[in-house]
Structure 1
Amino acid sequence: GLAAGNYLVVTAPQNFAGGGALFTRITATGNDPAPDPDDDVNGDDNGTDLGALIGARPVTLSNGGEPTSEDGDNNTNLTVDFGFIAAGAAA
């Protein structure tokens, strides 16, 4: 697993290139500020448009201090979420 610390979660830029899984998609957050990924809320779009990729603000991971609502394991954090919509669609 990962050591305790701060991590950046980003999408790979090739996902947005022609033929990529996210080609013609944008972050569902739009221009709104994305929620803090350290809020441990599942299902909120933590993505921010960073130009060539989408990323979340830093998330802090700690040994034994993570939410257990997803899988019962206090050493996992599955609450960093990205939502995508078709470009031109209302967020």
Structure 2
Amino acid sequence: MGKPARTDKQREIVGVILAAADKGEHLTVGEIMSRLSYKPSRPAFSCSLRYLEGNGIISREGWNGKRIVKPTGDAYAWFRSTPLTGGS
């Protein structure tokens, strides 16, 4: 399967998710929205998340009573050349 199309806004969303994951954080939808440079409507943002999830870029799961968003391996492969593994 080829890579899904990525809009600038989707790239920013995934960038926020990956940056948090690099620090060991997994964010809720509200936390992701608050870190974006633009203010999407909730329905538009939900549509973007469904697209990303449907294409295997993110997963959403329950954790400590919250729904968190986590990147998949495809997020790293499609939005970065290689995953960050710590150290340099």
Q: Does TM-score exceed 0.5, indicating one fold?
A: no
Q: TM-score if structure 2 supplies the norm length?
A: 0.29
Q: TM-score if structure 1 supplies the norm length?
A: 0.28
- Structure (1/2) with the larger helix percentage: 2
Which structure has more RCO (C-alpha within 8 Å, separation ≥ 6)? 1
Give 1 or 2 for the bigger CA radius of gyration: 1
